[in-house]
């Protein structure tokens, strides 16, 4: 008798053999965003409407810069995974692969741009 959890039994099953891993990554990023988005709102909210110099000085502090970087990175990776699932379900033929590649490139480019911008302000 094997003592396997439901997750362990389901790992590697399905057409692509990665459905369980993809589902868990979406669940983990959802929980992370559940914590990060309110933290981001309460961290960035007080400086909205302030001058450019005050905003740059605020994001030069480590905590707001880290919260903003984590929120944007996790949010964009969650978007990438969700959009990929949506495309796999509703787009067919050769357009499917091209659209998935485009969304992945767009997500990584946006994440890289966001991290570069935050690093440029914070350093």
In this predicted structure, what is the pLDDT of residue 3?
Answer: 72
Domain assignment of residue 106, yes or no? yes
CB of 84 within 8 A of CB of 24? no
In this predicted structure, what is the pLDDT of residue 18?
Answer: 66
Supply the CATH number for residue 95's domain. 1.20.1300
Look up the domain containing 45 and give its range: 12-122
- Threshold 0.85, pTM exceeds: no
CB of 86 within 8 A of CB of 21? no
Domain assignment of residue 17, yes or no? yes
Q: Locate tokens 């983990």: which residue? A: 28
Number of domains in the chain: 1
Residue pLDDT, tens place only, 32-66: 999 999 999 999 999 999 999 999 999 999 999 99
Structure token digits, residue 20? 């369980």
In this predicted structure, what is the pLDDT of residue 2?
Answer: 67
Whether the per-residue pLDDT at 104 is higher than 60: the answer is yes
Higher pLDDT, 16 or 88: 88
């Amino acid at each position: 008798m094997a003592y396997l959890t439901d997750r362990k039994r389901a790992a590697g099953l399905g057409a692509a053999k990665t459905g369980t891993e993809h589902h868990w990554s979406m669940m983990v990023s959802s929980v992370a965003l559940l914590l990060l988005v309110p933290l981001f709102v309460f961290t960035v909210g007080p400086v909205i409407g302030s001058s450019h110099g005050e905003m740059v000085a605020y994001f030069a502090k480590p905590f707001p810069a880290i919260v903003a970087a984590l929120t944007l990175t996790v949010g964009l990776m969650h978007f990438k995974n969700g959009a990929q699932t949506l495309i796999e379900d509703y787009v067919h033929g050769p357009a499917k692969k091209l659209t998935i590649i485009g969304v992945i490139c767009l997500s990584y480019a946006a994440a890289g741009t966001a991290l570069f911008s935050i690093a440029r302000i914070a350093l």
